[in-house]
Amino acid sequence: MGEINKVVLSYSGGLDTSVILKWLTEVYDCEVVTYTADLGQGEELEPAREKAASMGVKEIYIDDVREEFVRDFVFPMFRCNTVYEGEYLLGTSIARPLIAKRLVDIANETGAEAISHGATGKGNDQVRFELGAYALKPDVHVIAPWREWELNSRESLMDFCEKHQIKVDQKHQSEKSPYSMDANLLHISYEGGVLEDPNAEPEESMWLWSVSPENAPDVASYIELTYQQGDVTAIDGNDLSPAEVLAHLNQVGGANGIGRVDIVENRYVGMKARGCYETPGGTILLKGHRAIESITLDRELAHLKDDLMPRYASLIYNGYWWSPERLALQALIDNSQQYVNGTVRLKLYKGNVTVVGRESRTDSLYDSHVVTFEDDAGAYDQKDASGFIKLNALRLKIESKKGRKLC
């Protein structure tokens, strides 16, 4: 390992990254550059700047990347109707490649030899940050303090702060949620605490973005999404930017009790982990996108996308956003969206999202003249079905005549 003079740290200003900042200067005797991303987590970020400055940091980066996050990461992912293991909408996973990209950008800009993060050695985020960094800057050095130091508990971190006179907001710490949480415009996640027992129901007070379905309004909300090439560009006729779309859907979805999931997922590092997630806007996006594709996408192309989706979801979950296979899949996915244009009407009611209408005036493949139960005026010759069925039954008939057991 060459000499490290400067490190770019992914920094929140909280307990963990404040300890890491000081630890890096002590152990590596280097200058630390801090980077804080505004991904729509809903927190004031200026305190992070003030905290970093008070600890002697000279180069402090704080970016508002909400539009880039939704436009270049969330929307491309939803074009594939992406769900990991049937339920998880990848809210944390999809944010990590953007942060990794910015850490590398800042390392190049400031001449830093290394980047650092606060992900633990048990989780997926360490993999996501580091695979992304190595893909974009192969010679970068990555420092992962949780894999190096002896500080393995909150008490030991607090002792470190006391020893090094690092200010900790005691009031904030005492009111801190008992859960490990991650938030951005797509979701908020909860892990740890009582959730480590997969048989324990989370208390209602844990959920921060949504009302319970039981307490949601007794009157349904209706919304109309406008799609252009697979992305939502307007809601109820009002043009919105990508970040504005997701923020609005989070608000209306959360108010109707939409987007809660409680799952046990398989981490890339090998263990099972229980997590609870609120993804109201993403839940609505998924339902709406499948609805507009149902009338605009060719059958075999739609089925191909469904076949590829689990692989694509795993690539994102496991940290391979910046990989040749993800880029190749994305090219196919994006090509499939050129005719995914139109509107979808949805009903939101007590935790449910129901499609109540879909229309594409220019690109719909739904032909009422062919599908009608009434007189189709010769648009479809039902006699053709006889030969179609016989040809498809041929191999089954041959096997049966050979005496092979088919049941």
Active-site positions read 16, 96, 125, 180
**74 CB burial (10 A radius; 0-12, 13-18, 19+):** buried
- Residue 71 DSSP one-character state: I
Convert 212-245 to b/e letters by CB count within 10 Å (16 or more is b). eeeebeeeeeebbbbbeebbbeebeeeebebbeb
Give yes or no for a contact between 316 and 326, defined as CB atoms under 8 angstroms apart.
yes
The span from the CA of 126 to the CA of 360, in Å, is: 43
Instruction: Give the pair of three-digit tokens for residue 45.
Output: 């970020």
**169-175-179 Cα angle (round to 5):** 110
CA dihedral 198, 201, 203, 209 (to 10 degrees): 80
From residue 337, how far is each of 59, 231, 334 by CA, in Å?
Answer: 42, 9, 5
Give yes or no for a contact between 81 and 13, defined as CB atoms under 8 angstroms apart.
no
User: Looking at 165-239, which runs of residues are DSSP E strands?
Assistant: 180-183, 188-191, 221-228, 231-235, 238-239
Give the closest residue to 205 by CA, choosing from 193, 217, 197, 219: 193
